[in-house]
């Protein structure tokens, strides 16, 4: 099979496996590497020290696979803009918001499994090939290689945007030590003069176009940060308990893009508009069971309960007070601090339950 024939057959196999987009990039230093180093040096990585430690490793994919010559980039669409309006009804006050990518099965495992099968297919045609499947955890600047592979451009919200796929996609890479015919890089940028993503960000996390500061991003605070969340950010979660989709929800390209149809990413009821009081009442063993096989396990039980307590406190949900009082003695410092903060906010809001007329507080 000629190199160009191999690439076309590989793409066909990738689509058969369920990938919505696939392209080939050369294994070179990514154009955005200098920007990445500058971003880290300015402190924009917040507390994500692994991004600092992996700085040099991200210069070239040879740090992941010695002798790598090609990077096959793949994408699967997982969602679409959420047009649901904010709802202030009593029953909705208890509800939280989870980023769409985390509402179904863990995307890491879905992509890894399919990339490994794709690697097996390549080995049938090139037996001596060496390869490695990469999904989000290895030191690879995935969006840069996706652009090099022709999958789309990097938008003003720093997300990869494809003309057909939009930005609600998860990316995976297959590194190979054989040289494949690369695709043309995506050289255009179709954001134009639009700044909706920058203006919609609830915490002003963008210093400007293409400049996201993780120190101000809700996804950082609700997923990556460990321990107590400072008051300034606890006040501004806006119902988000894991991640944030605002800058994607407002992007015009996502309204034109294909919708996610992958069965594995079908939203699970427990992660779609979850009842946050029920989250606080859930026992650790039940958390461990529910988080198994999901991307939410990144924040763990402690992070999710912490976030739920802060949202309920900011909203003054009095029904959460009994369980918050119990969580104020939780083993985790972040949960304790969040519960105490929430109890203060509920008391300050004046929404605490009043005793019935003619009866004392003790009943």
User: Annotated active-site positions, please?
Assistant: 136
What's the rounded Cα separation, in Å, for the pair 248 and 196?
A: 9
* Other beta carbons less than 10 A from residue 358's beta carbon: 5
Nearest to 311 by CA among 346, 268, 358, 269: 346
Whole-number Å distance between alpha carbons of 239 and 218: 10
Residues paired with residue 40 on neighbouring β-strands, in sequence order:
none
Angle (CA) 13 169 311, round 5°: 150
d(CA 301, CA 291): 8
Contact 51, 140 (CB under 8 A): no
CA 70 to chain CA centroid, Å, is 26
Looking at the DSSP bridge assignments, the partners of residue 129 are: none
């Amino acid at each position: 099979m000629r190199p160009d024939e191999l690439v076309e057959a590989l793409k066909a196999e990738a689509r058969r496996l369920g990938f919505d987009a696939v392209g080939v990039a050369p294994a070179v230093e990514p154009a955005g590497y200098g920007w990445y180093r500058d971003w880290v040096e300015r402190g924009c990585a917040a507390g994500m020290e692994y991004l600092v430690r992996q700085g040099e490793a991200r210069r070239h994919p040879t740090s992941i696979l010695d002798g790598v010559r090609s990077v096959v980039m793949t994408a699967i669409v997982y969602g679409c803009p959420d047009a649901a309006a904010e709802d202030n009804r009593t029953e909705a006050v208890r509800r939280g918001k989870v980023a769409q990518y985390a509402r179904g099965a863990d995307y890491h495992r879905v992509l890894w499994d399919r990339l490994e099968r794709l690697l097996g297919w390549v080995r049938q045609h090139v037996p001596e090939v060496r390869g490695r499947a990469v999904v989000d955890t290895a030191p690879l600047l995935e969006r840069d290689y996706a652009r090099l592979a022709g999958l789309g451009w990097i938008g003003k919200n720093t997300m990869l945007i494809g003309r057909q796929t939009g930005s609600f996609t998860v990316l995976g890479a297959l590194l190979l030590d054989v040289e494949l015919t690369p695709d043309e890089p995506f050289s255009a940028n179709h954001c134009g003069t639009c700044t909706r993503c920058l203006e919609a960000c609830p915490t002003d996390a963008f210093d400007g176009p293409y400049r996201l500061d993780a120190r101000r991003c809700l996804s950082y605070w609700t997923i990556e940060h460990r321990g107590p969340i400072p008051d300034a950010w606890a006040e501004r979660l806006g119902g988000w308990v894991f991640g944030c989709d605002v800058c994607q929800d407002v992007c015009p390209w996502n309204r034109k893009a294909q919708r996610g149809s992958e069965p594995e990413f079908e939203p699970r009821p427990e992660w779609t508009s979850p009842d946050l009081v029920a989250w606080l009442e859930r026992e650790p063993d039940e958390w461990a069971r529910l988080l198994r096989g999901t991307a939410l396990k990144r924040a763990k039980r402690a992070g999710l309960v912490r976030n739920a307590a802060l949202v309920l406190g900011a909203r003054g949900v009095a029904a959460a007070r009994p369980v918050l009082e119990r969580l104020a003695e939780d083993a985790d410092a972040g949960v304790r601090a969040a519960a105490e903060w929430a109890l203060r906010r509920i008391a300050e809001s004046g929404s605490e339950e009043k005793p019935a007329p003619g009866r004392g507080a003790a009943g």
